[in-house]
């Protein structure tokens, strides 16, 4: 029973980390967007507007939870949680310190890549449950994009697995050397781009284009259920950045122990900022451009990276 309770405790910890990260992420995104576009962002409440995030939470909690009349009630109500849960689950396999991950499994990297496919199903169900043509369109777009970009994302992680000779994230961190950085630069770039598309963020945010599809697959959601979708999105940013910082960028390198964890968090924060920077500077791409870019640029680039590592590997 203890392992079950331990799992439960880790689950609650993961949800709290993602919820906290999402609240901070919203504030940070406003500041980053403001600075990039030569405005201030939140600045009235607290120092540098930092108490704005505390003001946002009760606002969302007390908003009315509207369920459309025609909606499929049980599916409508449970779908947001099903979208959020895989994001929290994916965080469990990430090694936070050299040699330790909350859920240390021999197929951790595969687990991390497989879990977003549960999210695709949940997004489709959420889009369908609203009984709204626009949401359905947004859901179909989101799903097609997420499935397409899963391919380059998985391919970009494969060189790591080759170099480490293991699917266990802890082993990847353990065998990480500084020269992996230049060797895997192309794969890292593919991973970042594919991850941005995978989490439906700008410039690949067609599925939830606010002005055209009114937030796409969750257009009929309001209040806390809407906030859970946003938490899932920010959670995905944090999880993908944390994974990249831990595996591609060598976890706490060049430090060890507690300072290493701080270094890992700093690297993650930097990657999160890069993701936000991309959203607020690059124009949105069209759906056909998006899918063509995936199959004709990203997948070949990932394969080239795989070939480079395959050629270099026997001499290491």
Partner 1 sequence: MSAQIAGLALAIALTVVGAIGAVLVREVMRAMISLGAFLFGVAAMYAYLGYSFLAVAQVFVYVGGVLVLMVFAVMTARRADSERPALVSRHDVGSAAVAAGVGAMLFLSLRTAFAGSAVAVSANSSDLAAELLGPRLVAFEAAGVFLLVALVAVGVIVKGGEDR
ω before 5 within 30° of 0 (cis)?
Answer: no
CB closer to partner 1, 68 vs 223 = 68
Q: Nearest distance from residue 206's CB to partner 1, in Å?
A: 17
Q: Does 124 bind partner 1 (CB under 8 A)?
A: yes
Q: Nearest distance from residue 157's CB to partner 1, in Å?
A: 13
Angle made by CA atoms 29, 214, 69, in degrees to the nearest 5: 125
Tokens standing for residue 257: 């122990």
Q: Does 126 bind partner 1 (CB under 8 A)?
A: no
CB closer to partner 1, 115 vs 196 = 115
Tokens standing for residue 8: 């439960």
| Cα(206)–Cα(200) distance, integer angstroms | 7
- The answer to whether 81 and 11 are in contact (CB under 8 A) is no
| Cα(113)–Cα(296) distance, integer angstroms | 21
Residues in the chain: 316
Which of 26, 32, 90, 120 touches partner 1 by CB under 8 A? 120
Which of 115, 196, 199, 309 touches partner 1 by CB under 8 A? 115
Q: How many CA atoms lie within 13 A of 268 on its CB side?
A: 26
CB closer to partner 1, 18 vs 122 = 122
The H or E element containing residue 94 is: none
Tokens standing for residue 198: 């995978």
- Residues 60-89, one symbol each (x = binds partner 1 by CB under 8 A, - = not), give ----------x-x--x--------------
Residue count at the site for partner 1 (CB under 8 A)? 33
Tokens standing for residue 239: 């999880």
Q: Does 143 bind partner 1 (CB under 8 A)?
A: yes
Torsion angle defined by CA atoms of residues 225, 230, 232 and 236, in that order, rounded to the nearest 10 degrees: 180
CB closer to partner 1, 126 vs 301 = 126
Which of 37, 106, 287, 296 touches partner 1 by CB under 8 A? 106
Binders of partner 1 among residues 172 to 231 (CB under 8 A) are none
Q: Nearest distance from residue 167's CB to partner 1, in Å?
A: 6
Query: Which residues of this protein are in contact with partner 1, per CB under 8 A?
Result: 1-4, 70, 72, 75, 105-107, 110-111, 113-118, 120-121, 124-125, 127-129, 136, 139-140, 143, 147, 150, 166-167
């Amino acid at each position: 029973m203890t392992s079950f309770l331990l799992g439960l405790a880790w689950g609650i910890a993961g949800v709290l980390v993602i919820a906290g990260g999402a609240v901070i992420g919203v504030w940070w995104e406003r500041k980053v967007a403001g600075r990039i576009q030569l405005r201030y962002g939140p600045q009235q409440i607290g120092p540098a507007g930092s108490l704005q995030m505390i003001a946002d939470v009760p606002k969302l909690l007390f908003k009315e939870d509207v369920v459309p009349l025609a909606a499929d009630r049980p599916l409508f109500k449970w779908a947001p949680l099903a979208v959020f849960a895989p994001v929290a689950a994916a965080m469990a396999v990430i090694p936070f310190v050299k040699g330790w991950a909350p859920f240390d499994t021999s197929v951790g990297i595969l687990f991390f890549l497989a879990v977003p496919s549960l999210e695709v199903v949940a997004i489709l169900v959420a889009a369908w449950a609203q009984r709204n043509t626009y949401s359905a369109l947004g859901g179909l777009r989101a799903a097609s994009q997420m499935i397409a970009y899963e391919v380059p994302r998985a391919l970009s992680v494969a060189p790591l697995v080759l170099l480490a000779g293991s699917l266990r994230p802890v082993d990847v961190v353990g065998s990480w050397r500084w020269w992996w950085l230049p060797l895997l630069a192309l794969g890292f770039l593919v991973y970042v781009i594919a991850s941005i598309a995978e989490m439906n963020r700008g410039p690949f945010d067609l599925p939830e284009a606010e002005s055209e599809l009114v937030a796409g697959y969750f257009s009929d959601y309001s209040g806390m259920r809407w906030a859970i979708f946003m938490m899932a999105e920010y959670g995905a940013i944090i999880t993908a950045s944390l994974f990249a910082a831990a595996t591609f960028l060598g976890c706490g390198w060049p430090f060890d122990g507690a300072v290493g964890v701080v270094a890992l968090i700093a690297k993650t924060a930097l990657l999160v900022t890069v993701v936000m920077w991309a959203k607020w500077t690059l124009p949105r791409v069209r759906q056909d451009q998006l899918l063509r870019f995936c199959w004709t640029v990203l997948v070949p680039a990932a394969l080239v990276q795989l070939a480079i590592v395959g050629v270099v590997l026997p001499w290491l």
